[in-house]
Amino acid sequence: MPSTALTFSSRADHRAWLASQAALPRGFRVGTTRFDFMPKEAPKPAKMTLTLIALDTPTADFAAMFTKNAFPGAPVIVGRQRLGEPVLGAIIINNKISNVCAPGGVEASEKICAETARLLGLPATAVLPSSTGVIGWGLPVDSIVTGLPAAVASLAAGSVLPAAEGIVTTDLYPKVRSVAVGAGRIVGIAKGAGMIEPNMATMLVYILTDLAVPRETLRALLTKAVNSSFNRISIDSDTSTSDTVALVSSSAVPCDDLAAFEAGLALVCRDLAEDVVRNGEGVRHVIRVQVKNAATLSLACALGKAIVNAPLFKCAVAGNDPNVGRLIQAIGKHVGAHAPDTDLSKLRASIGGIEIFANRAFRLNPEKENALVAHLKGAELYPSKPSADGVFAPPVDYPPHERCVEIEVDLDSGHAAATVFGGDLTHEYVSENADYRS
Amino acid sequence: MPSTALTFSSRADHRAWLASQAALPRGFRVGTTRFDFMPKEAPKPAKMTLTLIALDTPTADFAAMFTKNAFPGAPVIVGRQRLGEPVLGAIIINNKISNVCAPGGVEASEKICAETARLLGLPATAVLPSSTGVIGWGLPVDSIVTGLPAAVASLAAGSVLPAAEGIVTTDLYPKVRSVAVGAGRIVGIAKGAGMIEPNMATMLVYILTDLAVPRETLRALLTKAVNSSFNRISIDSDTSTSDTVALVSSSAVPCDDLAAFEAGLALVCRDLAEDVVRNGEGVRHVIRVQVKNAATLSLACALGKAIVNAPLFKCAVAGNDPNVGRLIQAIGKHVGAHAPDTDLSKLRASIGGIEIFANRAFRLNPEKENALVAHLKGAELYPSKPSADGVFAPPVDYPPHERCVEIEVDLDSGHAAATVFGGDLTHEYVSENADYRS
């Protein structure tokens, strides 16, 4: 079950709630600047926002996890090196261009880090770079260097919201989640997922805390939290070349209860991951799949992913169509191809608490069908309607509610369980990724 | 390169060509019948077509391959048993309901086989059943048994076209391919892929020949042909619970040249597979990916599949957007997740013969961009436009041409190669699978 069941009636309502979550932990400041530039590869100017997250004092306690894509972006290549450095003092993030496989990309990222470091009085290796946007284009390094002083000048403590807004591109709304742990706080922001702008998917997540947790512990806890949150979501099965999750502690507050910190971190990651899905490209239904009593954790995760990545089932959900055949097809597809020895004889499946499959056969009748349709309609975020030119766009820029399509798959053949989040496959997704060709 | 480069200007033009391909090999007759029935699980009547393929004399020389989905349909379960029987005399196929995981499904299939056999004077085990359509519903056995005599009465030699038309459901057009080998012929028909009707994907393929090839040879050749044709296509990555490819020889003509038979079978399978993609759900661009010089065949196939199954790249193709970043992302996603030791340092990639990636970096400029857009537009099957209510449907019921989006990926690290076919991801796909909820 969800930790929260928020509803929002307007953008203002949602923003007020975000502001209530956004207090920065001690020891951090954030700043942003926005400017026009001329891409080398395109015929018209574009806009870029720089977001700077700075620590009052460089910290040894930081962690980061990056994409597994075999063509990682230059900032990911640089970021992996930063994990071996003694301290981190700042994170510099740009949107619009992801700096992936562009000639001279690593040098461009290092140059921006060096200039950021110079302005902040840090060693260049104490700055972590992030980029998101078009794959293939090169960063406008001169424009960024020119813009950096304004970002530094805007640095302010108080709220993480400017950074949460600075890193988004075509996200419908910023994403902030936080939790208090003892005398300290954990605050996370995220952008993505699916496609951020109509050129490339990127998920960037920054989690800030003032609770003092040593580097190695922080890294172990981040791995654990990410594996059961961000690694259990999928909008469209496409893996960004830039995915990054960073966790930084200012160590301003002693951490007296590591178990509470771990639980708080897990909660922030899980809620942010769910936010990313809810604001995913064209998502009109969030699908929560709970796989229970599986023989192994990897099987439980893989079955959940197989369901939320099955295009036909995703389309059915988009149409409020309880097409249970497509759900069973998705399970059978995965098991047949990747785990043929799996025992499916005791599999039970339900949607919205309504049993639809047991003892190797469907359990269907017209009354259940009506109840399933009602469950799907109740989880819909907004109605779908094209504009006059046939382009579909979401009519809301806030999450109206946090209800999900609830799917439970019980294998009754072990003790492993996993919860996976995904979205439906909608006209809004296709419009965002095919119709906006400039 | 394609073996054929046909163009069709109208449905009549296409039908005339199909008729020219459709001569039945000696020893076969086909017949169909169509009737209304009342599904137990639904509130309104539906229509079903029965298609019967009969041999003049039962044959020992037949082969079949079935879905790997772990929840196979009842006809697949029965079909696997039939492979052990001494002879095959007929194939009975129904559309509308796929008979998958329905209570009593195997018994229903066997009853239909027995009744078909009785009418044809065959043992029940000499009839192969196939079903396609909604998953979860039960077959209307009584209605089918009542309809069988009409199907038997309509059996005729001459053309396979009635069967090619009988097995389709929402296919835009029937699919027939044939080749002459010596004094005999190989004729194949197919339905699918993607979704056939808005409830479930099924691909059914029946290949008939009069050339005498012994059972074991036939089975080995079918496996080989299927692996390099039907197993190298993907519309939406979803694996039907009913996929079936059957190859039956009447042995009416001596086969003097087994190599020519093998080549002819491979050609029929490859062309039918490409037809299935071209008529796939909502497909507006067929994508042909040629992976070359890979270390292993499995890597070459997997990379091709990763590209044609990457939703973001498929959307870009739908929009005539040469988004090369999404192509490289798709390769990197597969390698990072499944083959992390792969050497990608010498990877070269081109679209429409235009190099877009080499030496670990993109090779882009505005002139190439224009040429890539022109290539994509040239491969489009029809323009996309919604009807007044926002529903998208293909405006043609024939394949206007056989041009593809041509992608070449050269790994320069081995000698394996594979060609994979897929389609774009379009509004027509979403409309067909989400918007037609009754």
SS3 A185: strand
CA proximity to A199, closest of A96, A68, A103: A96
CB contact (8 A) between residue A69 and residue B240: no
**What is the rounded average pLDDT of the residues A193-218?**
68
Task: Calculate the CA dihedral of residues A117, A118, A122, A125 and round it to 10 degrees.
Answer: 50
Angle at B51 between CA B47 and CA B57, to 5 degrees: 160
* Chain A residues close to B431, C-beta within 8 Å: 427
- Token reading at B29: 């007759």
Question: What mean pLDDT value characterizes chain A?
Answer: 87
- A307, A308, A329, best to mutate vs chain B, most B CBs in 10 Å: A329
CB contact (8 A) between residue A240 and residue B316: no
Residue B202 pLDDT level (bands cut at 50, 70, 90): low
User: How close is the nearest chain B Cα to the Cα of A221, in Å?
Assistant: 22
Please list the alpha-helical segments (H only) found in A230-321: 258-278, 297-308, 311-318
Instruction: Tell me, yes or no, if A202 is annotated catalytic.
Output: yes
Instruction: For residue A306, give the chain B residue with the closest CA.
Output: B238
CA proximity to A152, closest of A123, A111, A108, A120: A120
For residues A172 and B17, the model is more confident at B17
Residue A74 pLDDT level (bands cut at 50, 70, 90): very high
A97 vs B: CB within 8 A: no
Residue B229 pLDDT level (bands cut at 50, 70, 90): confident
Question: Which is catalytic among the residues A32, A202, A209, A342?
Answer: A202
- Token reading at B6: 């046909």
* Chain B residues close to A337, C-beta within 8 Å: 68, 239
- Token reading at A33: 């600047």
Q: What is the DSSP string of A128-155?
A: EEEEBSBSSPPP-HHHHHHHHHHHHHT-
Residue B238 pLDDT level (bands cut at 50, 70, 90): low
CA distances from B219 to B83, B89, B92, B126, B222 (A): 10, 17, 20, 17, 5
Report DSSP state, residue B71.
S
| Residue of A101, A315, A334 lying closest to B434 (CB–CB) | A315
**What is the rounded average pLDDT of the residues B282-305?**
93
Please list the alpha-helical segments (H only) found in A104-254: 105-120, 141-153, 161-166, 215-227
* Chain A residues close to B74, C-beta within 8 Å: none
Inform me whether the pLDDT recorded for B231 exceeds 80: no
B2 vs A: CB within 8 A: no
CA B269 to chain centre: 9
8 Å CB contact between A268 and A186: yes
- C-alpha span between B42 and B46 (Å, rounded): 9
For residues A271 and B378, the model is more confident at B378
CB contact (8 A) between residue A315 and residue B430: yes
8 Å CB contact between A266 and A362: no
- Token reading at A301: 């995760």
For residues A199 and B265, the model is more confident at B265
Question: What mean pLDDT value characterizes chain B?
Answer: 87
For the whole model, what pTM was predicted?
0.82
* Chain B residues close to A71, C-beta within 8 Å: 328-329, 331-332, 344
**What is the rounded average pLDDT of the residues A104-115?**
96
CB contact (8 A) between residue A136 and residue B360: no
**What is the rounded average pLDDT of the residues B308-317?**
91
8 Å CB contact between A218 and A63: yes
- Token reading at B237: 């990555």
State the complex-level ipTM: 0.81
8 Å CB contact between A147 and A51: no
User: How close is the nearest chain B Cα to the Cα of A373, in Å?
Assistant: 11
According to the per-residue pLDDT averaged within each range, which of A46-50, B275-279, B356-360 is highest?
A46-50
CB contact (8 A) between residue B311 and residue A315: no
Element (H, E) at A212: strand A204-212
Q: Specify the residue for token string 């599949």.
A: B305
B431 vs A: CB within 8 A: yes
Give Cβ neighbours of residue A426 (< 8 Å, ≥ 6 apart): A282, A283, A284, A318, A384, A392, B430, B434
A59 forms beta bridges with A88
- C-alpha span between A38 and B218 (Å, rounded): 62
B320 vs A: CB within 8 A: yes
- Which residues 128-167 in chain B show a CB within 8 A of chain A? 134-136
Give me the pLDDT at residue A193, please. 54
* Chain B residues close to A342, C-beta within 8 Å: 70
Inform me whether the pLDDT recorded for B195 exceeds 60: no
A84 exposed, middle or buried (CB, 10 Å; 0-12, 13-18, 19+)? exposed
8 Å CB contact between B421 and B288: yes
Give me the pLDDT at residue A237, please. 66
CA distances from B384 to A203, A438, B87, B377, B435 (A): 31, 17, 48, 12, 16
For residues B137 and A57, the model is more confident at A57
* Chain A residues close to B312, C-beta within 8 Å: 195, 200-201, 236, 238, 433
Element (H, E) at B218: helix B215-227
User: How close is the nearest chain B Cα to the Cα of A317, in Å?
Assistant: 8
CA distances from B252 to A70, A337, B88, B208 (A): 54, 38, 15, 12
Q: Give me the percent of chain B exceeding a pLDDT of 90.
A: 50
**What is the rounded average pLDDT of the residues B39-54?**
88
A63 vs B: CB within 8 A: no
Which domains, and CATH codes, for chain A? Answer: 11-278 (3.60.70.12), 286-435 (3.10.20.340)
| Residue of B43, B333, B425 lying closest to A239 (CB–CB) | B333
Weakest-pLDDT range from A118-132, A278-292, A387-401: A387-401
Tens-place pLDDT, residues B64-115: 888 777 788 899 999 999 999 999 999 999 999 888 888 899 999 999 999 9
CB contact (8 A) between residue A425 and residue B426: no
Residue A202 pLDDT level (bands cut at 50, 70, 90): low
